[in-house]
C-alpha cells in the first residue's frame, strides 16, 4: 500500500496499480502516520486495532501490512475494493 500522510482526512483513495492508496491526516513523525493507517484499516475491517500491523516500510510511503484473522479475499470483500484496480 502507499500511504500519504498529512492529508485533510483519513480515507482509502483507491488503487495505484496493485497497491492500495491510503491518506491519513497524521504527520509522518514518531510513527503517528503508521498508527493512523493501522487504526483506519482496523476500523474498516471490523477487527481489533491489535490485529493490524505494518510489517515492512515503517519509514517509507510504501508499506506492507499484516492483518490477523482475515484472509486476503475477506479483506478485499470487507473493503469493497474487489477488482477496481487500475
Domain range list for the chain = 2-79
Cα radius of gyration (the chain): 12
From the options 3.50.40.10, 1.10.490.10, 3.30.1200.10, 3.40.50.300, give the CATH code of 2-79: 3.30.1200.10
pLDDT score for 86: 41
Q: Which H or E run contains 22? A: strand 19-23
Reported pTM: 0.86
pLDDT score for 42: 96
Give the residue-averaged pLDDT of 48-63: 95
- With a CB cutoff of 8 Å and minimum separation 6, the contacts of 44 are 12, 78, 79
Amino acid at each position: 500500500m502507499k500511504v500519504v500522510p498529512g492529508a485533510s482526512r483519513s480515507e482509502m483513495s483507491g488503487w495505484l496499480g496493485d497497491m492500495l492508496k491510503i491518506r491519513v491526516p497524521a504527520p509522518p513523525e514518531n510513527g503517528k502516520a503508521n498508527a493512523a493507517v493501522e487504526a483506519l484499516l482496523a476500523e474498516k475491517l471490523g477487527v481489533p486495532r491489535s490485529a493490524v500491523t505494518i510489517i515492512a516500510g515503517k519509514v517509507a510511503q510504501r508499506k506492507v501490512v499484516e492483518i490477523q484473522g482475515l484472509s486476503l479475499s475477506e479483506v478485499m470483500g470487507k473493503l469493497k475494493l474487489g477488482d477496481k484496480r487500475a
